[in-house]
Amino acid sequence: MSILNESQFAGIIPFEKKLWLSSPTMHGEEQKWVDDAIQTNWVSTVGANINEVEKQIAEYVGVKYAVALSAGTAALHLATKLAGEKLYGQARTNEGTLAGRKVFCSDVTFDASINPVAYEDGEAVFIDTEYDTWNMCPKALEKAFEIYPDVKLIVVAHLYGTPGKMEEIKAIADRYGALIVEDAAESLGARYKLNGEWVETGALGNYNCISFNGNKIITGSAGGMFLTNSKEDADKVRKWSTQSREAAPWYQHEEVGYNYRMSNIVAGVVRGQIPHLDEHIAQKKAIYERYKKAFSDLPVKMNPFDTEKSEPNFWLSCMIINEDAMASMVRGEQDYLYKHESGKSSPQEILDALAAFNAEGRPIWKPMHMQPIYRTHAFITAEGNGRGRSNAYIAGSGADVGADIFRRGLCLPSDNKMTLEQQDIVIEIIKKCFQ
């Protein structure tokens, strides 16, 4: 039987137009700056839009330099490569800068955060997540350094726009002399109180990255940026991103290069979006708060944040179902099964119900340590080694916070163009799943 015909959903009409998880929101100025690029013939990877967005984002985030790139992934790659070169020296042309080295990485994140470690021939070691912010767990990071004291690089992401526990993470990094690549792809505009001072995410690491992917808080259709206070680092990333050309009359190359620079057309879209960043954050915050209020009588919690030390950008509103309200659900590698149980529900049941009514939700990022490509990589929890802990004869705690959030959590429709009426319908659908 189709979900639409199930009795608890009687009377709810599917959305005529799909309600997106998070889609681009254009305002009009984007067109002006794109037209400007075309009319002035700066249809290339140089031009006024690029210069302007670099200046404006650097100012907004509070860093000295921004380098506009083709994607957040490109920014993360060059940030990771730069960190590797700083730590271990220049690599051979056919080798990555992290060859033979381990890197501590956020576990519950998009794989673009940490794939650059593999691009640079390094080995990601995944650090478990904490429940307070759904980000890298400082206790697990500390354990990881006890197990692998020689590691010198940490890649840390701020999930769904909520800053992680950067004070603790930075203190641990300093103690072990490690550098931080900060993945602020999802958290542009989010702030964190570091040692009593508000700092924007994107200015919290040694090498910082943001994204203008189509689903982000502001977009260029694509694009990303490397952010830094070091002129030397900004110059290096700019050089690498434009094929590493040397100052010779012909194409001369001392280093491997990439074609990673942002287009002036893409930068035109970003330029039109920047004035609307704070407005988008306010809209996303209102969506989060409405969900939170509406679900106060359900056995669920919203994605949490530290109210004293952080101001998220609320990019995605998420929820986690209380353990005792989890209906049976199993996930294979590519498929799933669940049962409806009265008074309970499961992420896949809710996602299917939303999809049936033409609304887009999403599972929580599947933890990297559970991904087939990274199954052989180490995983460290607050208790120590997270691999090989099961035992047929002796029960252990075996806590795996990332796996638990993935199992019980989901991302809700969080589009800033969603009307109050549409959000009410989403809320109603979700409430019905628990009947």
Ligand X SMILES: Cc1ncc(COP(=O)(O)O)c(C=O)c1O
d(CA 348, CA 355): 10
| Nearer CB in complex with ligand X: 183/311 | 183
User: Which of the stretches 69-77, 78-86, 275-283, 324-332 binds ligand X when contact is defined by CB under 6 A?
Assistant: 69-77
| Nearer CB in complex with ligand X: 134/434 | 134
d(CA 77, CA 189): 22
HSE of 172 in the Cβ direction (CA atoms, 13 Å)? 22
Report in angstroms how near the CB of residue 381 gets to ligand X at its nearest: 21
Report in angstroms how near the CB of residue 73 gets to ligand X at its nearest: 3
Report in angstroms how near the CB of residue 90 gets to ligand X at its nearest: 26
Token pair listed for 48: 């006024």
Residue window 114-153: x/- pattern of binding to ligand X, with contact defined by CB under 6 A: ----------------------------------------
User: Which of the stretches 14-22, 72-80, 289-297, 323-331 binds ligand X when contact is defined by CB under 6 A?
Assistant: 72-80
* DSSP of 28-96: SHHHHHHHHHHHTT--SS-SHHHHHHHHHHHHHHT-SEEEEESBHHHHHHHHHHHHHHHHH-PPPTTS-
Give me the residue label for tokens 């080694």.
Answer: 385
Kindly state the number of chain residues that form the binding site for ligand X, as judged by CB under 6 A.
Answer: 15
What residues are paired with 192 via a beta bridge?
199, 310
Report in angstroms how near the CB of residue 69 gets to ligand X at its nearest: 9
| Nearer CB in complex with ligand X: 266/327 | 266
Q: Measuring CA to CA, how many Å separate 259 from each of 33, 70, 186, 262?
A: 23, 8, 23, 9
Asked if 73 touches ligand X (CB under 6 A), the answer is: yes
Residues 157-196 that bind ligand X (CB under 6 A): 157, 183, 185-186
| Nearer CB in complex with ligand X: 214/299 | 214
Q: Which residue's beta carbon is nearest to the bound ligand X?
A: 72
d(CA 395, CA 359): 41
Residue window 192-221: x/- pattern of binding to ligand X, with contact defined by CB under 6 A: -------------------x-x--------
* Other CB atoms within 10 A of residue 328 CB: 12
Token pair listed for 91: 């690599």
| Nearer CB in complex with ligand X: 213/414 | 213
Residue 11 contacts by C-beta under 8 Å, 6 or more apart in sequence?
A: none
Binding residues (CB under 6 A) for ligand X: these are: 71-73, 76, 109-110, 112-113, 157, 183, 185-186, 211, 213, 224
